[in-house]
A and B are shown apart, each in its own frame.
Chain A
Amino acid sequence: MRSGIVDHAIDTSAVLAEVASAHNGASVLFVGTVREMNDGRDVTGMEYTAYREMAERELRDVVREAASRFGTDDIVVVHRIGSLDVGEVSVAIAAAHPHRGSAFDAARYVIEELKQRVPIWKREHYLDGTREWVHAGSASARAEKARSGSD
């Protein structure tokens, strides 16, 4: 098991290689990248920040939980912070298990819990030069504002 927050490019092949083992028949690699469009706006880059000590602790907990739930210690997650360009890797998660179902489940658990709990934030930079903090539900919050007619 390993988890970490880094401020340099993530080598996804190395992350995958870390979980390789002769007793595993399945390895899953999830890679999150910066998308060129979000919520209908052209994105030129993303800036990630973290409450680093807490994020590291929370990520470690998530990996331990996944290991216990899905019966494998072969799980690695690395999240990058700092300024990223479109297409760059923000997060890589590798999970391996003797069987594929649990390898998929473990990788899925780590990314879903990460998005719920780990104190990392991102600010999108748009083609028009503006920047905005992103959070779950920003699109629906904006829709709600539009409906209610407030700012």
Chain B
Amino acid sequence: MTIDVLLFASYAETLGGPRVSIDLEPGATVRDVLAHLRRLPGAERLPPVPMVAVNHRYARSDDVVAAGDEIAVIPPVAGG
């Protein structure tokens, strides 16, 4: 399955845009999403375990992702 991953702020600059498409096997987890992102140019500047949100909620690395989920990698937040 192909999944779009949303990127924001410094991560969008690091990985070259606000959205990347990755191919995953069914049953893939958040950890697999991050493993795919690691292969992109610039990914060496990501922290060891970036935060990920699935469908607008912070996710754990073993959460399973499904086609149609909205997946986002969240840089350290800085509101206020």
Q: Which residues of A contact B (CB under 8 A)?
A: 32, 48-51, 53-55, 57-58, 79, 90-91, 111, 114-123, 133-137
* Residues of the A chain whose Cβ atoms lie less than 8 Å from the Cβ of B6: 51
A56 to B78, CA, bound (A): 15
User: How many of chain B's residues have a CB under 8 angstroms from any CB in A?
Assistant: 17
17 cross-chain CB contacts under 8 A: A49-B8, A49-B9, A50-B79, A51-B6, A51-B53, A54-B72, A79-B80, A117-B77, A118-B77, A119-B8, A120-B77, A121-B9, A123-B9, A133-B75, A134-B78, A135-B78, A136-B78
* Residues of the B chain whose Cβ atoms lie less than 8 Å from the Cβ of A122: 78-79
- Chain A interface main SS type: mixed
Q: How far is the CB of B50 from chain A (nearest CB, A)?
A: 12
Evaluate contact between B80 and A91: CB separation under 8 angstroms: yes
Evaluate contact between A114 and B80: CB separation under 8 angstroms: yes
A54 to B74, CA, bound (A): 11
- Contact pick for A91, options B10, B13, B79, CB 8 Å: B79
Evaluate contact between A114 and B53: CB separation under 8 angstroms: no
Contact with A along B56-80 (1 / 0, CB 8 A): 1110000000000000101111111
- Which chain B residue shows the least CB distance to A132? B10
- Asked if A53 meets B56 with Cβ closer than 8 Å, knowing A121-B9, A123-B9, A133-B9, the reply is yes
A55 to B10, CA, bound (A): 17
Evaluate contact between A115 and B8: CB separation under 8 angstroms: no
Known: A57-B56, A133-B13, A135-B10. 7 other contacts (CB 8 A): A49-B8, A51-B53, A53-B56, A117-B77, A119-B8, A122-B78, A122-B79
- Which chain A residue shows the least CB distance to B6? A51
* Residues of the B chain whose Cβ atoms lie less than 8 Å from the Cβ of A48: 79
A118 to B8, CA, bound (A): 13
